[in-house]
A and B are shown apart, each in its own frame.
Chain A
Amino acid sequence: MNKHRADLLFLAPLFLFVLLFVLVPVIGALINSLFRDVSFLPVKFTGLMNYIRLSGDSAFRKAVVFTLLFSAVSVFLEMAAGILTASVINEEFRMRGLIRGIVLIPWAIPNVIGARMWQFIYQFEYGVHNFFMKALFGMPENWLGSPAGAFSALVAADVWRTTPFVAIIILAGMQNLPTSIYDQAKVDGAGMIARFFRITLPALKPILLIALIFRTIDALRIFDVILVMTGGGPGGTTSSISLLGYKAFLQGDFGYGSAISVAIFLLAFVIAMVYLKAGRIKEEI
């Protein structure tokens, strides 16, 4: 009994932290979203009005499609690149420590600065992208000016920035795998590729799931890279849900902004649940 109480006491700060910084804001946003809380109008309870407005907002629909597409493409590429990177830096070779350190650099750079660097790459007159375009085709190209170009540029920046994160998580998982299994497999005549697909991948599943959930939730609230690189342009085609929420707050519409935040929360929640469910079902088979 006494020990139990001590446990609770030690857990209390963490619980308090979660309560203050996770639960209170989420519930606060939920409550806010039920009001017409516009800075220049009297506050009024309007029930689900903000959500009804949300469902009829074409900008919101477009932002949801963009955010889902962006998350799917970039998370897929990040997972693939992350597994590949982790496999390489898991091998024994000279200066492995140095290479591991270098791989982490993009993740260590603050998001906004990284995004600024990518923006400079595509800069029309002086960017390195157009340096090569001019050298190869003789014509500069306004890459961020087309919806497809802007989309791929954003995906590239995000993949570049977060692949190290995925790689490090997977590397940690790889190092926990017992080497004896590999030795046995080698004795049984399994080649490198067979070992990867038959042993490494299945054994890494829980770790991959964690990386997947982390990255998907992160990608769904993509904001900083877009704000810096395209500002949602051209013509609003790269506007993410978070960017819309930010703009609603900036315009003084706190109720609508909160409704958008709740929408992101729900979307991330549902997708995380689907992942967890899908992960568990496969385990049972």
Chain B
Amino acid sequence: MRLIKHICLAIALILTIVSCARQEKKLTIVLGGAPSEVKYLESLIGDFSRKSGTEVSVIRQPTDSDQRRQGLLIPLKAGEADPDVFLMDVVWVGQFAASGWLLPLQEYMKEDGFDSSIFFSSVFDRADTFRGAVVALPVYVDTGIMFYRKDILDKYGLDLPANWLGLIDIARKVQEKERSSNGAFYGYVWQGAQYEGLVCNFIEISSAYGGCIINENGKVSLKSPENIAALEQMIALISDNGISPPNTFTEMKEEESRIFFQNGNALFERNWPYAWRLHESDGSPVKGKTGIMPLPVGPSGHRASALGGWHVGISRSSDLPEEAWELVKFLVSREVQRSLCLELGWNPGRKDLYEDPDIAARIPHIAVLKTAFESSVARPSAPFYTHISEIVQKYINAALSRNMTAQEALSAAQKEVERIMTLYNE
């Protein structure tokens, strides 16, 4: 009897604790990224709390984007009241919105007279609008750009390449010459490991060759001749005597290529704009020697940069939607966007900041970025985009590692993506 009494008491105690924790409504935001970024964002959230009087609790997430998505997926699927506000990678917005996890924002925007034309329409229309509803707002927009070594090009009296073939040509010549003094020198570094970044690198070259993953009619067109030519070009970059390091398809993600270039071992580097601040930081061997240009034009006459970036949204299960909307407005406000740009080098989602004199002084290439954003290509925006991406990553990587030819890999990818489309398209 006594034991049963004890068990009952224990259960009662646990229930009391759980219900106490449940009653408290609190605005919760999920933030992730590099430690310095999270720290700065937390200080901004602190400012918001002080000004608005709303207490905000912050859940920290790591840098890895898959882990960040997983951390959001579980509470959202379970319909938890927290988190209320969170940052999303541009490629998740489709999945989250289609799953009904995002609160439509247009009512709030209308009520507050919030003007959405301050954002790049190429970003806002494709990434933040889903089936006619506004589901997110851009906090930070990103796009692929090309870094190059000004000093080395000057040394050999070379001009900037006009197109992809020109870039490869210059990279090969310079690599040969530099090898006499630096055996580890490569002409061009980019992201080829099996992960999301590979898809960005692929669609950039594919679009420059006139290809795409899914065409305007919604049909999969992975095995088009344009894509085969583009992929063969990518394979050739890593082949014997290639201009990209042999570990491109196993290890090269953003940071690996950034460090490779920063150590002075590469002439060109495809990366996101964040690398600029690090290349220019004190102690960097390439400080003052780095230039930025848009990605080169391909045989199709087009240039294309993958659209990336992070967007802020509100959970549909949020218990404090009004407060959450205030926090969202705060994060995309001119003032906050300006300090995020100056402190963290995050490119504002607002167009009006690209003319700001302070920002232009700190980030001299901001004009290059503006053009890049306006000519950016989005990754396919299906709710099951990440599934498509998995398949594309796997086969492109198989081709880069030479386990398959470009044609085999793209045909196999085409078949699998088509299967997924029939499976998930209602």
Contacts and interface: CB of A to CB of B under 8 A. Distances in A.
Contact of B403 (A58, A125, A235): A235
Secondary structure class of chain B's binding surface, majority of residues = helix
A230 B398 CA distance: 13
Nearest to A239: B394
Interface string B363-396: 0000000000000000000011011001000110
A142 B402 CA distance: 13
Contacts of A202: none
Interface string B1-29: 00100000000000000000000000000
Given A142-B246, A145-B401, A9 B3 contact: yes
B384 A233 contact: no
B193 A231 contact: yes
A237 interface: yes
Given A233-B194, A233-B401, 19 more contacts: A38-B424, A39-B73, A39-B77, A40-B98, A40-B100, A53-B423, A123-B251, A124-B246, A124-B251, A144-B250, A145-B249, A230-B250, A231-B195, A234-B250, A234-B401, A235-B401, A235-B404, A249-B70, A250-B73
Contacts of B387: 251, 253
Q: Would you call the interface of chain A mostly helix, strand, loop, or mixed?
A: loop
24 contacts: A9-B3, A38-B424, A39-B73, A40-B99, A40-B100, A41-B424, A41-B426, A53-B423, A124-B245, A125-B260, A233-B250, A233-B401, A234-B250, A235-B194, A235-B397, A235-B398, A235-B403, A236-B397, A247-B390, A250-B66, A251-B95, A251-B386, A251-B387, A254-B77
B390 A251 contact: yes
B69 interface: yes
A251 B196 CA distance: 13
Nearest to B426: A41
A53 B424 CA distance: 12
B184 interface: yes
Given A145-B249, A251-B390, A231 B194 contact: yes
A234 B249 contact: yes
B290 to A, nearest CB: 20
A232 interface: yes
B195 A125 contact: no
A279 B404 CA distance: 43
A206 interface: no
Interface of A: 9, 38-41, 53, 58-59, 123-125, 140, 142, 144-147, 230-237, 247, 249-254
A124 B250 contact: yes
A249 to B, nearest CB: 8
B281 interface: no
B247 A251 contact: no
Contact of B397 (A123, A124, A233): A233
Contacts of B401: 145-146, 233-235
A142 B247 contact: yes
A252 B95 contact: yes
A279 B245 CA distance: 51
Contacts of A142: 246-247, 250
A46 B72 CA distance: 27
Most chain B CB within 10 A, of A123, A125, A237, A254, is at A125
A237 B403 contact: yes
Contact of A235 (B66, B395, B426): B395
Given A40-B383, A251-B387, A252-B95, A234 B247 contact: no
A40 B386 CA distance: 13
The 10 A-B residue pairs with the shortest CB-CB distance, nearest first, are A235-B398, A40-B98, A124-B247, A233-B194, A40-B383, A39-B99, A234-B401, A236-B394, A145-B250, A40-B99
A147 B424 CA distance: 31
A40 B95 contact: yes
A125 to B, nearest CB: 7
A129 B295 CA distance: 35
B184 A125 contact: yes
B398 A236 contact: yes
Nearest to A139: B246
Given A40-B99, A235-B403, A252 B73 contact: yes
